[in-house]
Amino acid sequence: MDGGRLLILAASCLASTLCSTAYAETQGQYLQMAEIEIDPAQADSYKAAVKEQIETAIRVEPGVLALYAVYEKNNLSLVRVFEIYADADAYKAHLETPHFRQYKATTQQMVRSLKLIQTVPIALGAKVK
């Protein structure tokens, strides 16, 4: 399964756990996709930094509903992060947290490019275990 399909599957799984009527429930939420190209020589360091940032954000920020980071199976330097926040204010608050600022400082020299794409759900769904 390639990185794009894995990301879609992960987003679908989360969506189901967040709401039973996914589209209606996402009205007002802030959804975004980050496309990140990293220095392949620093892939392990980047993965550790993003993992720590995501775990902390999910644990301490009530407005962060989901963060899924994946890389392409055949290209460790291409990372995608699917993000769901309660609303735009929750996203803005996330950017100001100490753990996010630490992540940005730690990964600054690892990231070659970053593209943020605000998204709108068409359909989100998953089976809950």
Do the domain assignments include residue 19? yes
* 34 contacts 54 by C-beta, under 8 angstroms: no
Token look-up 């020589």 returns: 41
Do the domain assignments include residue 66? yes
- Average pLDDT of the chain is 85
Give the tens place of pLDDT for each residue, 105-118.
999 999 999 999 99
What is the pLDDT at residue 1?
Answer: 56
Do the domain assignments include residue 8? yes
Residue 75 belongs to what H/E stretch? strand 75-85
DSSP 42: G
Instruction: Report d(CA 37, CA 56) in Å as an integer.
Output: 22
Residue 64 belongs to what H/E stretch? strand 64-72
Do the domain assignments include residue 15? yes
pTM equals 0.77
Number of folded domains in the chain? 1
